[in-house]
């Protein structure tokens, strides 16, 4: 319509030594699927110390939060498991240890055997991988984009699950491996910041 302003796409800015500043987000949910309050600009904790999680309360300053990647981190690897109907792509570098793959379809993901279930079951399970570590190839085409609306879900005692191609910006030019969905650390312990690497499990991160 003439005169109508173009809608601003949401964006996440990773602040050095500080929170995630999120612009233009319409949908923030908790792990029960309930809506959480949003404003045009919100700050979400990434140091793990806020007493008002998932929002930032300035605690990053008190604890001297740095927020960079660990320079001693050993990067993960890329694997492809080629089956008759589908190829599973596994980028272990961004795995958040969600385990939805081995819990939902162990015969495929524990045994690294794409042919141990139907192509539809494999795809349905891959789509549950929040970090984007798992994706697939069908007929040579690499599929990572599921076309969802922009939304962030605060997982219980775990990362922020981002879906819907929300742009990520930081001072280092960091980009997610999978642009449509990725997981962001909010416990402060990941060696692969800003992405979750499952360290919340090692430190026993709790929302309370």
Residues that bind ligand FES (CB under 6 A): 96, 158-159, 185-187, 189-190, 196-200
d(C-alpha 116, C-alpha 114), whole Å:
6
Give whichever of 162 and 189 is closer to ligand FES, judged by the CB atom. 189
Identify whether the C-beta of residue 50 lies closer than 8 Å to the C-beta of residue 18: no
Q: How far is the CB of 147 from ligand FES (least distance, A)?
A: 26
Give whichever of 67 and 150 is closer to ligand FES, judged by the CB atom. 67
Q: How far is the CB of 204 from ligand FES (least distance, A)?
A: 12
Give whichever of 15 and 116 is closer to ligand FES, judged by the CB atom. 15
Residue with tokens 């642009």: 179
Give whichever of 30 and 115 is closer to ligand FES, judged by the CB atom. 30
Burial letters for 190-205: b for 16+ Cβ neighbours within 10 Å, e otherwise?
A: bbbbbbbbbbbbeeeb
CA distances from residue 26 to 8, 121, 149, 150 in whole angstroms, order as listed: 11, 31, 10, 8
Q: How far is the CB of 187 from ligand FES (least distance, A)?
A: 3
Q: How far is the CB of 18 from ligand FES (least distance, A)?
A: 16
């Amino acid at each position: 319509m003439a005169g109508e302003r173009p809608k601003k796409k949401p964006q996440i800015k990773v602040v050095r030594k500080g929170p995630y500043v999120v612009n233009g987000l319409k949908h923030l949910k908790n792990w029960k699927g309930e809506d959480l309050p949003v404003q045009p600009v919100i700050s979400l904790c990434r140091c793990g110390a806020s007493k008002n999680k998932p929002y930032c309360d300035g605690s990053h300053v008190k604890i001297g939060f740095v927020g960079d990647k660990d320079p001693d981190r050993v990067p993960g690897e890329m694997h492809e498991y080629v089956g008759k109907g589908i190829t599973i792509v596994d980028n272990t570098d961004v795995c958040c240890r969600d385990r939805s793959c081995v819990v939902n379809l162990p015969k495929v993901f524990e045994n690294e055997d794409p042919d141990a279930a139907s192509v539809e079951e494999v795809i349905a399970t891959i789509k549950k991988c929040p970090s984007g570590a798992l994706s697939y190839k069908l007929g040579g085409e690499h599929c990572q984009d599921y076309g969802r609306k922009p939304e962030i879900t605060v997982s219980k005692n775990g990362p922020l699950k981002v879906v819907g191609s929300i742009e990520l910006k930081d001072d280092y030019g960091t980009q997610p491996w999978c642009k449509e969905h990725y997981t962001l650390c909010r416990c402060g312990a990941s060696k692969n910041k800003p992405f979750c690497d499952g360290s919340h499990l090692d430190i026993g991160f709790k929302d309370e």
